[in-house]
């Protein structure tokens, strides 16, 4: 058998890869979203199957459980109504004080719920794809959260789907603050733990850091990407590095990014 | 020439990429995703031809990269190199043995991410690597090895469903019958 076709194919593939790997970023992003749109019918099918299964489970819940849940939710609703009234009073007061001092008004964030439809096929990146795009009003850089805390930010936005880079990915650094001590640092990559995938490294801490396990970490609002006050996680341990020149800590992330199904996009 | 086997292979690769990206149970249980593409490449190289190897590498590579933060095209070359080398040497391999398929599948499943990673690093990107990456490589190699003989059997059965069975030549030929006795 002649070897010539094999060498021709080898050359053609190498050439194709060289061209693809040197395309501009904007073209690559659009091409990726276009190629992955081939899978949309399958994602729709899986989504419908999930919904059907969920409906089936709901139909089988006993009436007594539903009534108990309803009662609990009513009580919770009353408490939340009171809390909301209190929060609104505080917000009004805050707005008035801002007007008096002349500070810029802060508009409240809106939420846009969306589903996670796909995960990165390479283990060395932490990205997911969500079913919200530019037609839903989302844009690049918006924060992604869950009820537990910060999840990541939007990296690439298509018309119907977008890529989210998760907290712990090298491309998603978060400026954070420790509530109890007021120390600020930068949340960088995941700690590389095999057993616990929720540990992330907190760097750029002051030399004489007073961190203790269990202290809570929130976004600081610095950098302008994430608004201040979003829960990020809790301190697991801290250590002195660089011959005592600075400190680092490990943070257990509040949101388990490996089990996410639904997330919220924060819209300004 | 029938292209049924090629189409079947690409269809399975399409479904494998979808399963890899849509179902996160292996990541939760094993700490790594499972990839069926390297075992499929071993099948293409050992059972099919250069066309199958090339189309599988290009299409599956593009599909994989479209769901990843890897540079577009980073998965194509590693897959193609694996298939191309196996294709060159397939006459020397005991390719019908389960053991050989297992070893080749494990080697391909370990080699594909390593070569992809080299391409990613050559672009100046900084992926998240650590001890867990080694664990993920072990999981990929072991599962890829175990799945390869299973994929060979599955595709052989599917192929039997969609293609004509091979013509059975009857060794008895009436026109060559030696007739003995009186006529």
Residue A171: give its domain's CATH number. Answer: 2.40.10.350
Q: Is residue A130 part of a domain?
A: yes
Same domain, residue pair A47 and A142: no
Q: Is residue A77 part of a domain?
A: no
Q: Which residues 6+ apart lie within 8 Å of A94 measured at CB?
A: none
Same domain, residue pair A157 and A260: yes
Closest CA to A20 of B61, B46, B50: B61
Query: How much of chain B is helix, strand and coil, in % rounded to 5?
Result: 70, 0, 30
Q: Counting beta carbons within 10 angstroms of the beta carbon of residue A31, is it exposed (0 to 12), middle (13 to 18) or buried (19 or more)?
A: middle
Predicted confidence (pLDDT) at residue B172 exceeds the cutoff of 80: no
Q: Is residue A165 part of a domain?
A: yes
Distance separating alpha carbons of residues A61 and A51, to the nearest angstrom? 16
User: Residue range A225-233: average pLDDT?
Assistant: 88
CB-CB neighbors (< 8 A) of B28 in chain A: 258-259
**Nearest CB neighbour to A17, from listed B22, B77, B132:** B77
Q: What is the dihedral of CA B82, B83, B89, B94, to 10 degrees?
A: 100
The answer to whether A127 contacts B68, with C-beta atoms less than 8 Å apart, is yes
CB-CB neighbors (< 8 A) of A125 in chain B: 68-70, 127-128
Q: Which of residues 202-221 of A touch B (CB under 8 A)?
A: none
**Nearest CB neighbour to A6, from listed B17, B62, B84:** B84
In this prediction, the answer to ipTM > 0.90 reads: no
CB A154 within 8 A of CB A166: no
The number of domains in chain A is 2
Closest CA to B62 of A183, A13, A189: A13
Q: Are strands A150-157 and A143-145 parallel, antiparallel or unpaired?
A: antiparallel
Q: Tell me the per-residue pLDDT of A102-127, one tens digit each, with 9 for 90 and over.
A: 877 766 778 889 989 888 888 888 89
User: Residue range B60-81: average pLDDT?
Assistant: 93
Which domain-ending residue is among A34, A58, A82? A58
**pTM of the entire structure?**
0.83
Please, how many CA atoms are within 13 Å of residue B20, restricted to the half-sphere of its CB? 26
Residue of B nearest to A194 (CA): B132
Residue of B nearest to A46 (CA): B22
Q: Taking the mean position of all CA atoms in its chain, how far away is CA A214?
A: 22
B182 against A208, higher pLDDT: A208
Same domain, residue pair A131 and A215: yes
Please, how many CA atoms are within 13 Å of residue A143, restricted to the half-sphere of its CB? 25
Name the band, by pLDDT with cuts 50, 70 and 90, for residue A1.
Answer: low
Predicted confidence (pLDDT) at residue B1 exceeds the cutoff of 60: no
Residue of B13, B15, B16, B21 to mutate, testing the A interface (most A Cβ within 10 Å of its Cβ): B21
Same domain, residue pair A163 and A37: no
Give the model's pLDDT for residue A225: 83
Name the band, by pLDDT with cuts 50, 70 and 90, for residue A193.
Answer: low
Q: Which residues 6+ apart lie within 8 Å of A168 measured at CB?
A: A126, A187, A189, A190, A200, A253, A257, B128
A16 at B interface, C-beta within 8 A: yes
User: Residue range B142-159: average pLDDT?
Assistant: 92
Tally C-beta pairs within 8 A across A and B. 153
The nearest CA of chain A is from the CA of B171 a distance in Å of 31
Strands (E), chain A: 110-119, 127-130, 143-145, 150-157, 162-166, 174-178, 184-190, 199-205, 216-219, 231-241, 246-253, 262-267
Give the model's pLDDT for residue B9: 92
Same domain, residue pair A126 and A224: yes
Same domain, residue pair A179 and A245: yes
Q: Which of residues 28-47 of A touch B (CB under 8 A)?
A: 28, 31-33, 35-36, 38-39, 42-43, 46
Predicted confidence (pLDDT) at residue A223 exceeds the cutoff of 90: no
Residue A122, domain extent:
110-268
Give the model's pLDDT for residue A100: 87
Predicted confidence (pLDDT) at residue B128 exceeds the cutoff of 90: no
Please, how many CA atoms are within 13 Å of residue A256, restricted to the half-sphere of its CB? 9
The nearest CA of chain A is from the CA of B172 a distance in Å of 34
Predicted confidence (pLDDT) at residue A69 exceeds the cutoff of 90: yes
Instruction: State residue B143 phi and psi, 5-degree precision.
Output: -65, -40
Same domain, residue pair A130 and A210: yes
The answer to whether A165 contacts B17, with C-beta atoms less than 8 Å apart, is no
Closest CA to B38 of B89, B102, B132, B127: B102
Q: Is residue A217 part of a domain?
A: yes
A5 at B interface, C-beta within 8 A: yes
């Amino acid at each position: 058998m002649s070897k010539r076709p094999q060498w021709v194919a080898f050359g053609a593939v190498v050439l194709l890869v060289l061209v693809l790997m040197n395309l501009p970023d904007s073209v690559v992003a659009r091409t990726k979203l276009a190629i992955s749109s081939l899978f949309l019918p399958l994602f729709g099918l899986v989504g419908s199957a999930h919904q059907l299964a969920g409906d089936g489970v709901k139909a089988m819940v006993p009436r007594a459980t539903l009534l108990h849940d309803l009662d609990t939710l009513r009580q919770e609703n009353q408490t939340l109504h009171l809390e909301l009234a209190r929060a609104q009073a505080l917000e009004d007061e805050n707005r008035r004080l801002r007007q008096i001092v002349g500070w810029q008004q802060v508009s409240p964030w809106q939420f846009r719920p969306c589903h996670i439809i796909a995960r990165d096929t390479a283990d060395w990146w932490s990205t997911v794809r969500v079913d919200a795009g530019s037609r839903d009003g989302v844009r690049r850089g918006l924060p992604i959260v869950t009820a537990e805390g910060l999840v990541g930010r939007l990296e690439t936005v298509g018309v119907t789907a977008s890529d989210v880079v998760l907290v712990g990915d090298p491309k998603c650094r978060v400026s954070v603050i420790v509530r109890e001590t007021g120390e600020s640092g930068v949340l960088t990559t995941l700690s590389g733990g095999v057993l616990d995938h929720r540990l992330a490294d907190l760097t750029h801490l002051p030399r004489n850091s007073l961190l203790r396990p269990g202290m809570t970490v929130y976004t600081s609002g610095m950098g302008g990407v994430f608004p201040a006050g979003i829960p990020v996680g809790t301190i697991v341990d801290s250590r002195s590095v660089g011959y005592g020149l600075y400190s680092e800590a490990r943070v257990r992330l509040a949101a388990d990014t490996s089990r996410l199904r639904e997330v919220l996009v924060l819209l300004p | 020439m029938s292209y049924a086997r090629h189409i079947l292979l690409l269809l399975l690769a399409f479904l494998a990429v979808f399963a890899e990206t849509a179902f996160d149970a292996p990541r939760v249980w094993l700490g790594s995703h499972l990839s069926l593409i390297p075992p499929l490449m071993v099948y293409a190289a050992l059972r099919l031809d250069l066309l199958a190897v090339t189309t599988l590498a290009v299409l599956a590579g593009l599909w994989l990269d479209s769901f990843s933060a890897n540079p577009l095209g980073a998965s194509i070359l590693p897959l193609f190199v694996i298939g191309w080398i196996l294709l060159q040497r397939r006459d020397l391999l005991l390719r019908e043995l389960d053991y050989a398929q297992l070893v080749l599948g494990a080697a391909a499943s370990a080699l594909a991410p390593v070569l992809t990673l080299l391409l990613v690093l050559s672009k100046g990107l900084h992926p998240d690597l650590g001890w867990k990456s080694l664990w993920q490589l072990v999981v990929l190699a072991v599962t890829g090895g175990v799945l390869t003989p299973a994929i060979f059997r599955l595709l052989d059965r599917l192929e039997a469903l969609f293609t004509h069975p091979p013509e059975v030549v009857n060794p008895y030929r009436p026109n060559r019958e030696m007739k003995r006795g009186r006529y």
